[in-house]
Amino acid sequence: MRSPVLLRRVLAALAAIALVAGCASSKPAKQKPSELNDNPGNGVYQGLGVSPAQPRPNFVLTDASGKTFAFSQTTGHPTFLFFGYTNCPDVCPLTMANIHEALTKTPLALQEKTYVVFVTTDVKRDTGPVLTRWLANFTPDIKAHIVGLRGTQAQIDAAQAASHIPLAEDDGQTHSALVVLYGDDDYAHVEYPQSTNQAQIMAHDLPLVARQAG
């Protein structure tokens, strides 16, 4: 098991990079105003509100072990969805480290319900073993289901389109930095662009989307 120290180093070093320049390999996310949760008692999302809420897409790709994985397998579970690539120099490892940090601040029972799905946009280089090794950096001390997915260019493009994510370009190296969070009710109510306090914001919102079905 990798040491959590690695994750802290990633957060500290890459946060500094992000503050200076952002990721040249990522598209800036379209900014949308935050919105109030329309379910009374659930509070206010700190991420960017998705209005109208978007249904969980149903695409089929291949996981890091070579097995077919339908995104519908995450139905009924809070799910972070992020498209990126393992050789990304800044935004991708920083974003995954932020998701990891947010989960460490989440009660164990909710961690165990939550999926983190990383879909590679680099169809040429991100093989199953590469995805497995890279994602292992973001698994210590959490019980969430971490899934790495890959596919053909046509399949990855279709998955991005179904998820309302701009298509990656330049062999997957120019990609959206958005993370989409789906709730138990199978709708995306909130999403996250690159930010300096992303982990804190995600940790705040995750319990809220997990109660959407209640």
> Could you please report the per-residue DSSP string of 114-140?
-EEEEEES-TTT--HHHHHHHHGGG-T
- Strand-pairing partners, residue 174, are 169
Cβ proximity of 202 and 102 under 8 Å: yes
Residues 162-206: pLDDT tens digits? 999 999 999 999 999 999 999 999 999 999 998 889 999 999 999
Cis peptide before 129 (omega within 30 of 0): no
Q: What is the pLDDT of residue 44?
A: 75
Cβ proximity of 110 and 99 under 8 Å: no
Q: What is the mean pLDDT of residues 14-30?
A: 40
**Residue with more model confidence, 120 or 6:** 120
CA distances from 150 to 106, 139, 193 (A): 28, 19, 22
Q: What is the mean pLDDT of residues 101-106?
A: 97
Domains of the chain: 4-210 (3.40.30.10)
d(CA 24, CA 2) in angstroms, rounded, equals: 28
Q: Give the number of other Cβ atoms within 10 Å of residue 75's Cβ.
A: 14
pLDDT band at 7 (very low <50, low <70, confident <90, very high): low
Residues 80-91: pLDDT tens digits? 999 999 999 999
How buried is residue 40: exposed, middle or buried, by Cβ count under 10 Å (0-12/13-18/19+)? exposed
Using the predicted structure, report yes or no on whether residue 209 has a pLDDT greater than 90: yes
Give the DSSP letter of residue 92: H
Global pTM value: 0.83
Give the residue from 194, 163, 160, 150 showing the smallest Cα distance to 48: 194
- Kindly list the strands in the beta sheet with 187-192, ordered across the sheet, starting from the edge strand earlier in the chain: 48-55, 187-192, 179-182, 79-84, 115-120, 145-150, 60-63, 68-70
Give the residue from 140, 168, 145, 138 showing the smallest Cα distance to 155: 168
Cβ proximity of 210 and 183 under 8 Å: yes
| Average pLDDT for the chain | 84
- Strand-pairing partners, residue 27, are 176
